[in-house]
A and B are shown apart, each in its own frame.
Chain A
Amino acid sequence: MGKEIRWHRVLGTLLLALFLTEGAAQLWVYVWAGEPYRTFSFYSWSPYGLVRNNPNLTSPAFQINEAGFRRDGEVAIEKPAKTLRVMLLGASVLYSGIAGNAFIESEGRTGSDGTIDAFLEGLIRSDLEFSDVDVEVINAAVNFNRIVEVSVSYIAEFAYYDPDIVIVFGSANNFGGWPAAGAVNERKQTLQSDHLWKSEFDRIVNRNDANSLVENTIRTLEGYFASVGLAKKVAGKLIDGGFALSRRLAPIKFWLTSDDSLPALANDAEVELLLSEYLGYVDAMAAVAKRREQHLVIFWENWLLDLEGVKQFSPGEMRLSAKLTNSRSPTSTKFRFHVRDRLAEQLPSLGISFVDPVNSMAVSQETLFIDYVHYTRKGNQLVAEVLFYQLRPVLKELAALLEAEPS
């Protein structure tokens, strides 16, 4: 046996291995997603609000159109005549995502036919009062959007789709638990601090080190090869699983001397400051909406645990709330209800409608929540109904204006 390497054979073997692996990966993706592989990257960068959903995403559950909206069909930027266009902006609740380890697995991921926009469009279309106009409901949700990203994306881009009405979701990403004392003044609250993906942006775009080179190479190859996309997905899940396992084991306090005293909470002045910062973004959106004659609505996202004692939980929600025991915080619930009530007081005076589905949720015995804050298909349907019936007078006025338009 010689030690000489026959390079053509080595190269041929590598190419054959790549060809066979790629073929198998393409076949697997086609069977899994029902379409040829494009990419597994969920997002693409946007200069207006950080990211958009990636139109090239290959997924059996999520359909993203060319504009990055969560829907099958395309939407022209220029609104067609006599069309009532409703635009929904927000984050994962509107996207109909799932977060955390505690969720109702049997509910599965919601397809684009089961999201709030799909139900809302169906409701408006089926109402004879709207039979003289066409209806388009656009879901422009992007996971983890806060009002920071929502407002910028609206002001710089989505306002020019000329929606007649804009409904803003995403309150859960702006208002979590009661802030610790000093956190708002130091700008450490979720609404104020860096977005989760800033580190991604820095690593991929701003840095020029070896890690950045490797990542960009993988990302480029992922756009062409299903085998690379799959390898990245599987390896990522394994590594993330390892880290998650380490965190789950971490609470075993072998050496830990914990300080169980509760941190001091932000006072009223700090809470008002946070609210004021939020309303600053809303003011900016309202200014653009007014200029472009669009009606603005803010939707309040309730958390499952906030509805304990308010809603009669279904068996699935009961099991879910039991799993979420460690997240139970009466203080956080009090904070969110406080913010909700302050918004309900202030927004109407700014000409902005405020919709809180709590009353309808309270009388529903269905499983509305799939995890701590996101909705099931039934939950999406209920929210669409609440929006439709509460906003119906406004929608009717807008439709009447459209009917009077020349064809």
Chain B
Amino acid sequence: MQFVTSDLIQLLIGIVIFVTALGAAIFAGRALGIFPREWLNLHEWAFVLKILGIIIFALALHLTSIATHFPADEFIYGRF
């Protein structure tokens, strides 16, 4: 039986990204402290960052789901 190690490595990369995202979410409260309050309060900053987070993750999820259609080593053909 052949074991597809690339799938395992992709799973590991996925776990690392998930843990990073989880860590960012847990420590987001503290990180919010660095944003200036003159213009937006904490809740407003949190809302803005949620919107940006949703956009970034939608893009990442989408590109990840289609990444295997065009392996990077075939970049000449490009993503459509």
Q: Which residues of B contact A2 (CB under 8 A)?
A: 41
Task: Determine whether the beta carbon of A236 is less than 8 Å from that of B79.
Answer: yes
Closest A residue to B73 using CB positions: A101
A:294-353 near B, CB below 8 Å: none
Chain A contact residues (Cβ within 8 angstroms of B): what range? 35 or more
Given contacts A239-B63, A249-B5, A249-B9, contact A9 B51 (CB under 8 A): no
Q: What does the 1/0 interface line of B40-80 toward A look like (CB < 8 Å)?
A: 11111001100110000011101111111111111111111
Given contacts A215-B62, A218-B62, A239-B60, contact A200 B71 (CB under 8 A): no
From A203, A240, A241, A255, residue with most partner B Cβ within 10 Å: A240
B:6-63 near A, CB below 8 Å: 6, 9-10, 13, 37, 39-44, 47-48, 51-52, 58-60, 62-63
Q: Which residues of A contact B62 (CB under 8 A)?
A: 211, 214-215, 218
A5 on the B face (CB < 8 A):
yes
A247 on the B face (CB < 8 A):
yes
Task: Determine whether the beta carbon of A232 is less than 8 Å from that of B59.
Answer: yes
Q: Which residues of A contact B39 (CB under 8 A)?
A: 9, 13
Question: Helix, strand, loop or mixed for chain B's interface?
Answer: helix
Q: Which residues of A contact B67 (CB under 8 A)?
A: 236, 239-240, 242-243
Task: Determine whether the beta carbon of A203 is less than 8 Å from that of B10.
Answer: no
Closest A residue to B2 using CB positions: A256
Given contacts A13-B40, A231-B59, A244-B72, contact A211 B1 (CB under 8 A): no
Q: Which of A91-99, A149-157, A178-186, A381-389 contacts B (4 or more CB under 8 A)?
A: A91-99
Task: Determine whether the beta carbon of A5 is less than 8 Å from that of B43.
Answer: yes
Q: Which residues of A contact B63 (CB under 8 A)?
A: 232, 235-236, 239
The distance in angstroms between the C-alpha atoms of A204 and B62, with both chains bound, is 12
A219, chain B: closest CB distance, angstroms: 9
Q: Which residues of B contact A218 (CB under 8 A)?
A: 59, 62
Rank and list the top 10 A-B pairs by shortest CB-CB distance, nearest first. Answer: A240-B72, A250-B6, A246-B9, A99-B76, A244-B72, A200-B80, A255-B3, A42-B78, A250-B5, A97-B76
